[in-house]
Chains A and B, each alone.
Chain A
């Protein structure tokens, strides 16, 4: 099973700042099969990025993903108040599909 470790645990930033979230895999993820999700308080998760760097439908270009192998990054530019929530990475390179433990983004 591929274990995903996200850092930091919590990120507290002001509106307009840039957020950089990390996801590290215990094994190489083939073909960049990694996704990022946003979960706002009390809501279901929402797909942001798939295949490591492709934005999902309707996701603003403030969100971008990068990385390959075992190290992946989600960058949120020009942070907005609505961006608060928990962000999860997920791999689908192998079964079982696994999620990271999440990074909580707080808006100051």
Chain B
């Protein structure tokens, strides 16, 4: 069965970096895009962008350029989200979500809480 298993919660300081992993299993990794979605505390869902798992080409939504990097290691069927120069407002749960069809998301990771606090 399809599974996306994300790395554990992170507690980090302003200015630091964090790298969240999303391990995929149960399907051919390179046949579905991987998306990233942010959910700030008590807030809704915000699409951050996606990465083409076949070519490795990332696309970032407006507001998620510069400090955010999507990457892959296809040898271990894992997608990564790295955020640098962390700010308090980066505190959120970050989800990976598999692309389905044209642009909806059919499987989601369990979420990785990232807390940025001094």
Contacts and interface: CB of A to CB of B under 8 A. Distances in A.
Contacts, number: 63
Nearest to B63: A96
A88 interface: yes
A65 B19 CA distance: 37
Given A44-B95, A45-B45, A97 B111 contact: no
Given A44-B111, A50-B101, A96-B62, A56 B106 contact: yes
A47 B100 contact: yes
Contacts of B45: 37, 39, 45, 88, 90, 99, 102
A21 B102 CA distance: 23
Contact of B47 (A33, A50, A97): A97
A91 B107 CA distance: 17
Given A50-B104, A92-B102, A45 B95 contact: yes
Give the interface residue-count category, chain B: 20 to 34
Interface string A72-108: 0000000000000010101010011111111000000
A61 B101 CA distance: 21
Interface in B30-52: 35, 37, 44-47, 49
A53 B110 CA distance: 26
Given A45-B95, A50-B101, A99 B106 contact: no
Contacts of B103: 33, 92, 97
Contact of B102 (A33, A45, A88): A33
Interface residues of A, number: 25
B61 A96 contact: yes
A89 B101 CA distance: 16
A92 B105 CA distance: 10
A25 interface: no
A44 B44 contact: no
A46 B105 CA distance: 9
B70 interface: no
Interface of B: 35, 37, 44-47, 49, 59, 61-62, 95, 97, 100-111
Q: Which 8 A-B pairs have the closest CB atoms?
A: A92-B103, A35-B104, A44-B108, A97-B47, A96-B61, A99-B45, A50-B104, A47-B106
